[in-house]
Amino acid sequence: MDKQEINEALAELLFPDIDKTPEYYEQMYPERGLPEGARVTRFAPSPTGYLHIGGLFGALVDVLTAKVSGGISYLRIEDTDKKREIEDGVSGITDGMKAFGVEFDEGVTGFGTETGSYGPYTQSQRVEIYQTIAKSLVKQGLAYPCFCSSEDLDSIRERQEAEGADIRGYFGKWAKCRDLSYEEIEKNISEGKSWVLRFRSDGSPDKRIFFEDMIRGKIEMPENIIDEVLLKSDGIPTYHFAHCCDDHFMRTTHVVRGEEWISSVPKHIALFKACGYKVPKYAHTPQVMKFDDETGDKRKLSKRKDPEAAVSYFVEEGFPKESLTEYLLTLLSSGFEDWRRANPDVPAMDYPFNLKKMSSSGCLFDLVKLNDVSKNVICRMSASTVYDRVAAWAKEFDGEFYNVISADPDRTREILNIDRESPKPRKDIAKWSEVRDYISYFYPEFYRKDYSLPENISASDAKAIVAAYAKAYSASDDKDGWFGKIKELCEPLRFTPNVKEYKSNPDTYKGHVGDVSTVIRIAVTSRRNTPDLYSIMLLLGEDEVRARLADAGANF
């Protein structure tokens, strides 16, 4: 047998059940025929754990990159590591994406469901494709079976360490299965020895590769010389080989993935070339980092220490999806905030995102900033939207609160509308889980009395203020009349209605009108700071207001 015949025989020996050819799949998954410049991107998570905030970040880059270019983004599930897979891994990913409004054009849509004509979009259902390409590589002499046991591999590693070898791994003189004869292979197989399929690298240690990372620019690295594993002993591909086959047949143009994969690019370029495929463009996104609360140092978000590492945290806390995407966009692109100022009402997903303008250094996740962004987002929502969102959140995460607010939705909407739907709405709420406390004083079920006073107001003055106010108060006053009465209380109680005057003569008065209204506010709501007190009192109603004034007067 000549070399070619041996390779063909070997391919049959290793893959007797594979009857398809690469051409079959080329026809099944044709070029997408998109307009020039349209980009095809994919988000390709493994269902091995909770959805990390860095995943959502990457997915946003995928979706925006495709959208801006008139292309396609899709979701592929990389489930080749069955040992590490977790039960709700896939739905955790798809639910997290949906919860935050990240929508792909194609791919997996939930557990066992998908859409698009380049599927299946789950790697465990594509084994025949990988094996077909693997078989073809064997036929061309570009891949070979390796029977080394883990002990053999350990011993190679030990010897490489002892020698202080610069490059470690399975290659060159270390690759003992690289040149097994057909007869040896056949014998091993007939003895039932397990094998993996390895790539036959033709790389050389003194050659370098160059590629242009869309985010980091030109990168130069040593060429790959390792005979990388393509198929594991169970016939399932490694990440490297699956990446090559899938991104080729799904016609990905831009591979956006975490920076931890940069060092694998030489392997990937070698594989794409060996298969005769066009190498996609790569964009390696920076890690999501934070400042450690204790040390103050920058570090990776960690599942163990940081609840905000998991996307589910933001769902449970009730951050609106718009807030999180809005915030992630500020991290993704330095131009976003300027764009937002110029386009306050445009949905964030319409941002003209440019991969090349992304920063390559780790992006800093800052919950305080997210809260600020979210307050800005929520303050612009109508009361009825806020009600719907709060109710939907509470139904899932706080049944008691849900029952109370949904007993009278109109009243809850009115409560939520105080200082809202105006040119300068209050920015009090960052997430739905805060609303219970925020409006608690309207509901006897949640109201907790707290009549503690600021230091500058004595209990006897507070008692005198509420007593005088209870006499003056009329539920039918309009806002000016209401405030007029508070001002009128001042002088007889030795407070001044004029804040400026108080500031220039602080010794002449006990305080000013602001202190008087603070006392009334505390009496009525047990808070020092609330939205418009007049509106609050209207919604509480006369009887409740009078009862609270009396109670506070007796308990200051």
The interface with ligand GLU within residues 319-338 (CB under 6 A) comprises none
Between residues 46 and 109, which has the closer beta carbon with respect to ligand GLU?
46
Gap between the Cα atoms of 310 and 534, Å rounded: 41
Between residues 257 and 431, which has the closer beta carbon with respect to ligand GLU?
257
- The one segment of 22-30, 40-48, 185-193, 413-421 that binds ligand GLU by CB under 6 A: 40-48
Between residues 60 and 415, which has the closer beta carbon with respect to ligand GLU?
60
Q: How many CB atoms lie under 10 A from the CB of residue 122?
A: 20
Min dist. Cβ of residue 267 to ligand GLU (A): 12
Between residues 211 and 443, which has the closer beta carbon with respect to ligand GLU?
211
Min dist. Cβ of residue 268 to ligand GLU (A): 9
Q: Is residue 267 a contact point for ligand GLU (CB under 6 A)? A: no
Between residues 78 and 461, which has the closer beta carbon with respect to ligand GLU?
78
At residue 257, what are phi and psi to the nearest 5 degrees? -155, 175
Q: Is residue 45 a contact point for ligand GLU (CB under 6 A)? A: yes
The interface with ligand GLU within residues 204-263 (CB under 6 A) comprises 243, 257, 261
Q: Which tokens hold the place of 257?
A: 């993935």
Min dist. Cβ of residue 62 to ligand GLU (A): 9
Residue type, 49: G
Min dist. Cβ of residue 289 to ligand GLU (A): 17
At residue 170's C-alpha, the angle toward residues 287 and 79, to 5°, is 45
Q: How many CB atoms lie under 10 A from the CB of residue 153?
A: 14
Q: What DSSP element (H or E) covers 208?
A: strand 208-213
Q: Is residue 46 a contact point for ligand GLU (CB under 6 A)? A: yes
The interface with ligand GLU within residues 374-433 (CB under 6 A) comprises none
Kindly report the three-state secondary structure assignment for every residue of 423-485: CCCCCCCCCHHHHHHHCHHHCCCCCCCCCCCCCCCCHHHHHHHHHHHHHHCCCCCCHHHHHHH
Between residues 111 and 261, which has the closer beta carbon with respect to ligand GLU?
261
Q: How many CB atoms lie under 10 A from the CB of residue 276?
A: 10
- The one segment of 13-21, 41-49, 284-292, 433-441 that binds ligand GLU by CB under 6 A: 41-49
Between residues 78 and 515, which has the closer beta carbon with respect to ligand GLU?
78
Q: Is residue 78 a contact point for ligand GLU (CB under 6 A)? A: yes
Q: Report the Cα 411 to chain-centroid distance in Å.
A: 35
Q: Which long-range contacts (CB under 8 A, 24 or more apart) does 64-68 make?
A: 64/332, 64/349, 64/351, 64/353, 65/39, 65/41, 65/254, 65/256, 65/283, 65/353, 65/355, 66/38, 66/39, 66/40, 66/41, 66/105, 67/349, 67/353, 68/352, 68/353, 68/354
CB-based closest residue to ligand GLU: 257
Gap between the Cα atoms of 344 and 332, Å rounded: 18
Between residues 121 and 171, which has the closer beta carbon with respect to ligand GLU?
121
- For residue 122, the 8-state DSSP code is B
**Is the preceding omega at residue 423 within 30 degrees of 0, hence cis?**
no
Helix, strand, coil percentages for the chain (3-state, nearest 5): 50, 10, 40
Q: Which tokens hold the place of 133?
A: 């390409």
Q: Is residue 114 a contact point for ligand GLU (CB under 6 A)? A: no
Between residues 240 and 340, which has the closer beta carbon with respect to ligand GLU?
240
For tokens 């609840």, name the residue: 307
- For the chain, the distance separating the N- and C-terminal CA atoms, rounded to the nearest angstrom, is 102
Q: Is residue 41 a contact point for ligand GLU (CB under 6 A)? A: no
Near ligand GLU by CB under 6 A: residue from 11, 18, 44, 378: 44
Between residues 215 and 537, which has the closer beta carbon with respect to ligand GLU?
215
Q: Which tokens hold the place of 473?
A: 């108060």
Q: Is residue 122 a contact point for ligand GLU (CB under 6 A)? A: no
Size of the site for ligand GLU (CB under 6 A): 7
Min dist. Cβ of residue 247 to ligand GLU (A): 8
Min dist. Cβ of residue 13 to ligand GLU (A): 31
Binding flags for ligand GLU, 507-546, as an x/- string (CB under 6 A): ----------------------------------------
**Binding stretches for ligand GLU (CB under 6 A):** 44-46, 78, 243, 257, 261
